[in-house]
Chains A and B, each alone.
Chain A
């Protein structure tokens, strides 16, 4: 008699742990039962992301770069499992290379996106980019792994923390990625992954008063409701692209300008 396989239970990824939905709900996707996240799960994820923000944004850029590179290492080690969850090996390789590419940006952003400003007076004045805070990401459906990584990496590389609503048509890729994230050195709460329904979770996050920005790249064309809800706390609404670019990072940055007199 052949051996019966030990199947994996797929759960949410919040605050570095893998909880079930507090609602007890699941839905079936690609033959797997997947947690069906609730409003409470979304709020818990925002709380975890907010809690992780000071430490992650306060880490040195060198450190953040290494942690992202470590994520690429973990993805490489799990390339087989990841390949089964998406279109295949080639997509996994592109996703890994993208994480490596973004890892290298961590300690270059202020040099490319900030600078000193030659004001007409006896002041030293400089502008630095800073992370905006907690970012809600509505992940695109396709390409499921590369698309997901292409939206998460530019959000977190600068020090933001993310609450990601993952594709409901193929949540397995993100859940496999969660295991790579959990075994990388990303502190718990920096990336939180919610499986469930975008139509249910999107508006909850768009209206959440402790979310600073929402990435609607994966939400399709009909984002009017999300944009209306986002107005309540003046969230940044980002519609990004699928290419790798420092401008994908800058969409989730604030610019801070500091003045100081020059004198003896």
Chain B
């Protein structure tokens, strides 16, 4: 016992450590003044004649002007997709189709630094994450699905897979290029063409991707990128010549899309919100669990649909765990996304910051206790300190609603059965985490949690071979893995 205290004094608290700035150079991204739409293999000015600005959420700096696609532009993009589908892409030998996807994977790898910087610049996420997670996974996703293009009949025994046609795809702002890869790679591998709409606040990497399509000599019209806002997305979903719609975003918009497509027969996949339980048992490896909790909710500023935003802690370890967690929070470095030491970057937009603030205020009003570590937030830009709420009621808004920010709600449980009941007590069902050293308990919990992805003794892991998608109101269909092919195919039998 006596050995416990003295040694620790010699090491300064991480808060006292000085870090020199370590900014990634941004010159590698050569921004154009304005970006047109990518339709039929060409950059074109929007018929709408409307443009909007994309800014850096970290500095509010204007980065570029981007076309705002209107109904006519959407129509031209779908026509281009239809033309390319009928004029060669759907009948191209699958092995050749595969090679285009392999090329794209390689080009993303080759331009990974540029893409990583652009992603951090435009979306506010730390360069550490865009460099080590977003961009490598995007490349891997194309590489994985490239290999499927000429092997589809092996994926579906006794069936004859065929491409659907033109897919309309709408992606969110939290992982811009990665979500583009999740959408475009399987669609193309299955022989479809696509019209993709990036999120309003993060169009840059999708626009750089259009240059990658050029370098890959991808046939014109196979990939069409239309930037814009919610109205552009609405035009796309309503377009009568689509065979497929794939949407990743909020549950509210997902439901609206479902209603819009009722009766049309258009194939639909939805990847919507979540309120994942991260369940920590008293026999877990506590320090590892604390790291997992931090990764679960503060990764990408908590802008993650599968974020572990509800921490369920077994009562017997509640106090030591919360103490460790608070201490760990003090070491999180908030600031410049382009600094290689940054852990928590900028909140993606003013709108999202307002939403987080509103929900956090509701948490305080409803009587939960808030903790934020001391940290100095930059004056310009959109920032929110890592936040933990304890003493949270099950019925509280911060325990029920998706915050999509760096805000964790802590609740407790006593028995495994109670943990399951609390974890499943949500309309969502995207992901869940379990921390225990007991193997049988992991499998027992995994069987009972109603969620599409279960991380046991880890959290927020992604891989192109691993299917991802939700139960209940978190959506339907899977992205990734063999199961990610089905949403982009029809079957003659």
Contacts and interface: CB of A to CB of B under 8 A. Distances in A.
Interface stretch (A3-11, A121-129, A171-179, A191-199): A121-129
Contacts of A247: 159, 491
A224 interface: yes
Contacts of A112: 157
Given A257-B453, A261-B458, A121 B473 contact: no
B83 interface: no
A255 B475 CA distance: 12
A254 interface: yes
A236 B475 CA distance: 9
Interface stretch (A32-40, A42-50, A145-153, A225-233): A225-233
Given A227-B262, A257-B453, A260-B442, A123 B467 contact: no
Nearest to A227: B262
B49 interface: no
B89 to A, nearest CB: 26
Contacts of A132: 471
Tell me if A's interface is mostly helix, strand, loop or mixed: mixed
A234 B461 contact: no
Contacts of B455: 259
B457 interface: yes
A231 B262 contact: yes
Interface string A223-253: 1111110111110100000010001000000
Contact of A117 (B446, B452, B463, B471): B463
B456 A236 contact: no
A88 interface: no
Contact of B446 (A225, A258, A261): A258
B255 interface: yes
A255 B427 contact: no
A259 B466 contact: yes
Contacts of A222: 263
Contacts of B475: 234
Interface string B448-474: 000111111110010101111101111
Contacts of B442: 260
A118 interface: yes
Contacts of A230: 258, 262
Contacts of A231: 255-256, 258-259, 262
B451 A259 contact: no
A227 B465 contact: no
A150 to B, nearest CB: 16
Given A212-B472, A227-B262, A231-B258, A127 B456 contact: no
B272 interface: yes
Contacts of B270: 234
A255 to B, nearest CB: 5
Contacts of B263: 222-224, 227
A260 B255 contact: no
Given A224-B263, A259-B454, A123 B481 contact: no
A257 to B, nearest CB: 5
A234 B476 CA distance: 8
B468 A257 contact: yes
Interface residues of A, number: 35
A143 interface: no
Contacts of B473: 233-234
Given A117-B481, A234-B476, A256 B452 contact: yes
Contacts of B468: 257
Given A228-B262, A258-B454, A234 B467 contact: no
Interface string A85-117: 000000000000000000000000000100101
Interface in A115-167: 115, 117-121, 123, 125, 127, 132
Contacts of A232: 255
B458 A259 contact: yes
A72 to B, nearest CB: 23
Contacts of A223: 262-263
B140 interface: yes
A256 to B, nearest CB: 6
B422 interface: no
B46 interface: no
B451 A127 contact: no
A250 to B, nearest CB: 9
Contacts of B474: 234
Nearest to B478: A255
Contact of B255 (A212, A234, A255): A234
B146 to A, nearest CB: 15
A233 B472 contact: yes
Contacts of A228: 259, 262
B437 to A, nearest CB: 12
Which of A212, A230, A258 has the most CB atoms of chain B within a 10 A radius of its CB?
A258
Which of A212, A225, A261 has the most CB atoms of chain B within a 10 A radius of its CB?
A261
Interface in A196-225: 212, 222-225
A119 B465 contact: yes
B396 interface: no
A234 B456 contact: no
B457 A255 contact: no
Contacts of B454: 256-259
B251 interface: yes
B254 interface: yes
Contact of B471 (A127, A224, A254): A254
B223 to A, nearest CB: 25
A132 B272 CA distance: 17
14 contacts: A120-B463, A123-B458, A123-B463, A127-B467, A127-B483, A227-B261, A228-B259, A231-B259, A233-B472, A234-B272, A234-B476, A255-B452, A255-B467, A259-B454
**Considering the complex of A and B, which 3 residue pairs feature the smallest CB-CB distances, nearest first?**
A224-B263, A227-B262, A119-B463
Given A227-B261, A230-B262, A255-B467, 19 more contacts: A118-B465, A123-B463, A212-B472, A223-B262, A225-B262, A227-B258, A227-B263, A231-B258, A231-B259, A233-B472, A234-B255, A234-B474, A236-B476, A243-B493, A254-B471, A255-B469, A257-B466, A259-B456, A260-B442
